[in-house]
Chain A
Amino acid sequence: AQKITQTQPGMFVQEKEAVTLDCTYDTSDQSYGLFWYKQPSSGEMIFLIYQGSYDEQNATEGRYSLNFQKARKSANLVISASQLGDSAMYFCAMREGLSGANNLFFGTGTRLTVIP
């Protein structure tokens, strides 16, 4: 079974609007971390936001927020006030367990296009 599922291959959003990128995960661990990364066309992976399985508050980082619904095993990324520079691939990832040395499992990504 896929550990991370991103069901939206592509999304379009109007500039200055908000957009939600979906992510669901599958794990039997009680302790895990969820990450979102942005990958522009140049290829680098840029860390955006983190949510821990025990965090009661939804994570926020500037225009990024994570809508964490533990019972549904979803960790959707919300980007507010979209900018043209937000156009990129976005990957949801999960790390199981408590060790920061553990690997990240990535979803298949969502390509976001911001329309002027």
Chain B
Amino acid sequence: GAVVSQHPSWVICKSGTSVKIECRSLDFQATTMFWYRQFPKQSLMLMATSNEGSKATYEQGVEKDKFLINHASLTLSTLTVTSAHPEDSSFYICSARGGAATANNSPLHFGNGTRLTVT
């Protein structure tokens, strides 16, 4: 149980174009999804917290107009990288709380990530 699907797994785009990444919870309802960015050989850095039906909360230093997050349903959140530049090339990974559990011990379940390369 608690499967998170992320699509696409990799994408190459030209500078200036926009890329949309989808994150779906397949067998549970995720009221909260988190979007992380990971540079090579580095840790996961939280970009934003996405709550269903409300605006995402962005971490300091993350441009909300560049990284558009939409969480329109309990099973889908999207991250759109607008007007992508080479410095946006990175590994983006989403996660969601497992099921209806609100306990502290509920692990985050992660998608498989999206490797974005902007040329």
B44 touches A (CB below 8 Å): yes
CB pair A47 B104 closer than 8 Å: no
A106 touches B (CB below 8 Å): yes
| Residues of chain A within 8 A of B98, CB atoms compared | 100
| Residues of chain B within 8 A of A108, CB atoms compared | 42-43
Q: Would A99 and B44 be within 8 Å (CB), given that A42-B112, A44-B113 are in contact?
A: no
Taken together as a complex, chains A and B put the C-alpha atoms of A9 and B106 apart, in Å, by: 27
CB pair A91 B104 closer than 8 Å: no
Q: Residue of A at shortest CB range from B100?
A: A100
A101 to chain B, nearest CB (A): 5
Taken together as a complex, chains A and B put the C-alpha atoms of A103 and B110 apart, in Å, by: 13
Taken together as a complex, chains A and B put the C-alpha atoms of A36 and B95 apart, in Å, by: 15
CB pair B103 A101 closer than 8 Å: no
Q: Would A100 and B49 be within 8 Å (CB), given that A45-B95, A107-B43, A108-B42 are in contact?
A: no
Q: Would A103 and B49 be within 8 Å (CB), given that A44-B112, A91-B43, A98-B104 are in contact?
A: yes
Q: Residue of B at shortest CB range from A50?
A: B105
For chain B, the bracket of interface size reads 20 to 34
| Residues of chain A within 8 A of B115, CB atoms compared | 43
CB pair A101 B97 closer than 8 Å: yes
| Residues of chain B within 8 A of A35, CB atoms compared | 107-108
CB pair B44 A103 closer than 8 Å: no
CB pair B104 A31 closer than 8 Å: yes
A38-56 toward B: CB 8 Å interface, digit per residue (1/0)?
A: 0000111101001010000
The 8 A-B pairs of least Cβ separation, nearest first, read: A45-B110, A100-B106, A43-B113, A47-B107, A44-B112, A33-B104, A108-B43, A100-B102
**5 A/B residue pairs, CB under 8 Å, sorted by A:** A43-B91, A44-B110, A44-B111, A45-B110, A100-B106
Q: B-contacting residues of A (Cβ < 8 Å)?
A: 31-33, 35, 37, 42-45, 47, 50, 52, 91, 95, 97-109
Q: A-contacting residues of B (Cβ < 8 Å)?
A: 31-32, 34, 42-44, 46, 49, 91, 93, 95, 97-98, 101-113, 115
